[in-house]
Amino acid sequence: MLNTILTGEPSDRPPLLIVHGLFGSARNWGVIARRLGTDRQVISVDMRNHGDSHWTESHDYFGMAEDLAEVLEHHGVSDVLGHSMGGKASMVLALTRPDLVRRLVVADIAPVEYGHDQIDNIRKMKQVDLEAIASRSDAAEMMGDLEAATAAFFLQSLDLQEKRWKLNLDVLERDMETILGFPQVEGRYIGPALFLSGANSSYVTDDHHDAIRALFAEPSFEVIEGAGHWLHAEKPREVEAAVRGFLEG
């Protein structure tokens, strides 16, 4: 089963499953988990090939959705919040196992194929000489011309003691086309679904609404002003308020 971090105590409210994006981990969502964990239990996961979860030979959305279903079969029917890659995995979970998902929040992603890729970032991580580094600043320097915030985000997945990335970079690089796409999924999720996006992000546009409505019967849309793709890090209070309001419905 995926590595999980539990925040808060079980209550009369359904638990909330939080699913991070590409190159992330459960810990990236710690602030939101603590805020939302005041009146329910929050289950944050490390996705396959990330963090302290298992590594696999494939990184596809049906496999990721099965991983999430295993977690929910253990913890029970939950609300689900997924960001970016984790948002796509959460959509596939809701479409294939709607019995496990009470309400769905998808953060800054749509069920479409995207044209950008992250191969260059993977190659920058791969060029770090893991045996030669003594600090994260050494690794940051070896990664070259990355923005400081991007480098800091990647370095959260560097295990200095073990001299290893907690990311299966080879598989993520090989399956990047799959990660950027969205699979053909039968069915339609009829539960409530919130599509939350950053006003400064281009990941979810009005042009994507038809693709969303084709798969989700009750979508609602909300924009976080002043936020980009990393809306939970940039505007945590606003994201908390939007998610809490939706879950309390």
**Active site amino acids:** 84, 170, 229
Residue 207, number of CB atoms within 10 A of its CB: 9
Instruction: Note whether 24 and 82 are within 8 A (CB).
Output: no
The Cβ-side half-sphere exposure at 165, using a 13 Å CA radius, reads 23
Instruction: Note whether 19 and 135 are within 8 A (CB).
Output: no
Tokens 């909330």 sit at which residue? 16
Q: Left, alpha or beta for 144 (phi > 0: left; psi -120 to 50: alpha)?
A: left
Residue 17's nearest CA partner among 150, 96, 133, 107 is 107
What's the full length of the chain, in residues?
A: 249
